[in-house]
Each structure stands twice: as structure tokens, then as C-alpha cells.
């Protein structure tokens, strides 16, 4: 029973809450707005908790590893951290921009696959080149990998984490229907 709730905002809210609560005859009687609000807090999920559960870290860092996740899914978006041209199994880094771009894109494909999508789902990429003069070589491999589904892209010349790295690419993909949607 809700007393003094009237037709105002809180009264409508409390009436709505009453409809959501379990119909349990053993439940304590709700004889005030205060007790109704206390019970409502137990049964209505908090928005911050709901938002938190929408974020999935598919490729979290290993203990003692770098402080970032390789793949994070937030709702329908998949964020892949910057990938460099080192083979994930051997750690080998091939020479040349073309060869490294191929390894980078292969690494990205592997990360996207873990999230249930592929290169065709990428909507934005950021390319970091150690030397902008390697742009055409990178672009040749990039074009072949993404055609005809080219995402929006930024290309930046930057000093990368290690001198042997010539290319790093990070991407954002769209996955509207959850893992394995295609």
C-alpha cells in the first residue's frame, strides 16, 4: 500500500515500481514511500551496473603484461588496440613496410575474429607510420585487404614503440548483433 503518493512524479514512479516487484504475500507491507523506495533499489538494476556489463574485454592483458586490453567490445562497437608487425607466435618482425603491414592486418583479423567480426566490419582505422615515405607501400597492402569495404581512416607519422616497427594500425569495428553475427 502506498500512502501520500498522489498523482505527482514520485507517485507514478512508486506505482510503476509496485508493478515490477514480485507478488509475494510474505513481503513486508509497504506502508510508506521510504520503504517502497528501499525495496525498489533491490529489484531495479542500477544504470551504471548495466552499462558496465555491456563492456567486454576479450583480450585482457596478462598479469605483468602491458596495461591495456587488445580487444574491447562496448555495445555494438569493437575496439582493437594498435597492432604492430610482429608475429604473435614467434615475435619475429619482418623487414619492410609491405611485409609488416601484412602481418599487422593479419593480427587485426585475428583480434576481430575473437570478437565475432572481420575486416569488412571495420568502420574506422588509424594508421601510424614510422616514416610517412612508406605510405604508398602500406596503402597498397591496406587497399587489397579492405576492398571494397574501406573504413574511414587517419594516417599519422609517429615514433613507434620499438625502432624495428614501421607500421601500427588500430581499428574500430561495428558488430550490431553480437558475436558471430555473420
Whole-structure pTM value: 0.70
Any idea where the domains of the chain sit in the sequence? 9-44, 51-174
Long-range residue pairs from 103-106, CB within 8 A, at least 24 positions apart, any chain: 104/167, 104/168, 104/169, 105/141, 105/142, 105/145, 105/169
- pLDDT of res. 5: 45
Provide CB contacts within 8 A for 152, sequence distance 6+.
123, 124, 125
**pLDDT tens per residue across all 182 residues of the chain:** 444 445 555 566 556 556 655 555 545 555 555 565 565 566 555 544 444 457 898 888 888 888 999 999 999 999 999 999 999 999 999 999 999 999 999 999 999 999 999 999 999 999 999 999 999 999 999 999 999 999 999 999 999 999 999 999 999 999 987 655 55
- pLDDT of res. 50: 44
- pLDDT of res. 8: 56
- pLDDT of res. 49: 46
Topology at the third CATH level for domain 51-174: 60s Ribosomal Protein L30; Chain: A; (3.30.1330)
Q: Which three cell numbers stand for residue 3?
A: 500512502
Q: Which three cell numbers stand for residue 80?
A: 582493437
Amino acid at each position: 500500500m502506498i500512502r501520500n503518493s498522489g498523482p505527482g512524479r514520485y507517485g507514478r514512479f512508486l506505482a510503476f515500481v509496485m508493478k515490477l516487484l514480485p507478488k509475494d504475500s510474505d513481503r513486508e507491507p509497504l506502508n510508506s514511500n521510504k520503504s517502497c523506495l528501499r525495496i525498489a533499489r533491490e529489484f531495479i538494476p542500477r544504470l551504471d551496473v548495466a552499462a558496465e556489463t555491456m563492456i567486454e574485454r576479450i583480450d585482457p592483458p596478462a598479469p605483468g603484461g602491458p596495461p591495456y586490453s587488445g580487444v574491447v567490445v562496448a555495445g555494438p562497437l569493437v575496439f582493437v588496440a594498435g597492432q604492430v608487425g610482429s608475429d604473435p607466435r614467434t615475435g619475429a618482425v619482418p623487414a619492410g613496410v609491405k611485409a609488416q603491414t601484412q602481418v599487422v592486418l593479419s593480427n587485426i583479423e585475428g583480434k576481430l575474429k575473437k570478437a565475432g567480426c572481420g575486416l569488412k566490419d571495420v568502420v574506422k582505422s588509424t594508421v601510424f607510420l614510422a616514416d610517412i615515405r612508406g605510405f604508398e607501400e602500406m596503402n597498397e597492402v591496406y587497399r587489397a585487404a579492405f576492398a571494397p569495404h574501406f573504413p574511414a581512416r587517419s594516417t599519422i607519422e609517429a615514433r613507434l614503440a620499438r625502432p624495428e616497427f614501421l607500421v601500427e594500425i588500430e581499428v574500430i569495428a561495428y558488430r550490431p548483433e553480437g558475436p558471430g553475427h555473420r
